[in-house]
């Protein structure tokens, strides 16, 4: 249930509004739901809401995986069956034993090995290649970065309060979908970490505010949106 907020903005208990969020793999739902329309085609998450007095989903009926039985024509769900592999089924953060079913109609254990996208030349400079469903990622050693660890990273830069670094006409413009990462350490509670402008003329700012990391997006004719990383403070040095 979505929490009920008081006048101070603090949670005052559960409300009658229930929120369901659906995401695909490698998706940041916070960014997709709040900034997707501003940034462009970043639609890897969706949410729906429903009001009512029920405070939880009582899953006492059958749980069906991969398809549903034949249903009446007037039923809102069409009985299209899934073709593929599934694993790691969890309900309310509790793992469900997929071998402890009461009925099985045509499924087989195991799944054919996915294509191996890692080879000896995938990750450079001692990086470790990690197979993913349709791509790969590299765990790079200190001093190297990029998709395949081929980029030599400069030494850390020290900023003294009125310092800044700027780039113009980067060869890697910000486009959809994009990933941004950096490492930092500080004991200051406030300060701008990074700011960039997308091709859609939206300004993206990553900053420290009251010890927390905050991401904000604003642009011409666009309402400013912000996302604060909770919980935990990031200015412990």
Give the domain range for residue 91: 1-112
* Residue 133, number of CB atoms within 10 A of its CB: 10
Domain harbouring 128, CATH code: 2.10.25.10
pLDDT surpassing 60 at residue 108: yes
Alpha helices (H) in the chain, listed in sequence order: 29-39
> 95 forms bridges with which residues in the sheet?
90
Domain check: are 99 and 11 in the same one?
A: yes
pTM to 2 decimals? 0.48
Domain check: are 83 and 161 in the same one?
A: no
pLDDT surpassing 50 at residue 211: yes
Domain check: are 143 and 194 in the same one?
A: no
Domain check: are 126 and 214 in the same one?
A: no
Domain check: are 162 and 213 in the same one?
A: yes
- Looking at the 3D structure of the chain, how many domains does it have? 3
Domain check: are 66 and 134 in the same one?
A: no
CA 195 to CA 162: how far, in whole Å? 15
User: 57 versus 151: which is more confidently predicted?
Assistant: 151
pLDDT surpassing 80 at residue 202: no
Domain check: are 79 and 59 in the same one?
A: yes
């Amino acid at each position: 249930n979505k929490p009920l907020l008081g006048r101070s903005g603090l949670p005052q208990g559960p409300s009658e509004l229930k929120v369901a969020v659906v995401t695909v793999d490698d998706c940041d739902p916070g960014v997709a739901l709040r900034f997707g329309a501003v940034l462009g085609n970043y639609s890897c998450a969706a949410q729906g809401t429903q009001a009512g007095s029920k405070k939880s989903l009582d899953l006492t009926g059958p749980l069906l995986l991969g398809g549903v039985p034949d249903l009446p024509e007037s039923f809102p769900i069409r009985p299209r069956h899934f073709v593929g592999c599934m694993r790691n089924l969890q309900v309310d953060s509790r793992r469900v034993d997929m071998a402890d079913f009461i009925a099985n109609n045509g499924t087989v254990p195991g799944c054919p090995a996915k294509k191996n996208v890692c080879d000896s030349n995938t990750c450079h400079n001692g990086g470790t290649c990690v197979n993913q469903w349709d791509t790969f990622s590299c765990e790079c050693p200190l001093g190297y970065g990029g998709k395949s660890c081929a980029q030599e990273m400069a030494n850390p830069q020290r900023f003294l309060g009125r310092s800044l670094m700027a780039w113009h006409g980067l060869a890697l413009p910000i486009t959809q979908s994009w990933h941004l990462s950096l490492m930092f350490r500080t004991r200051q509670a406030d300060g701008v970490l990074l700011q960039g402008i997308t091709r859609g003329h939206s300004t993206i700012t990553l900053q420290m505010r009251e010890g927390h990391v905050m991401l904000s997006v604003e642009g011409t004719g666009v309402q400013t949106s912000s996302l604060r990383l909770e919980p935990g403070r990031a200015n412990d040095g």
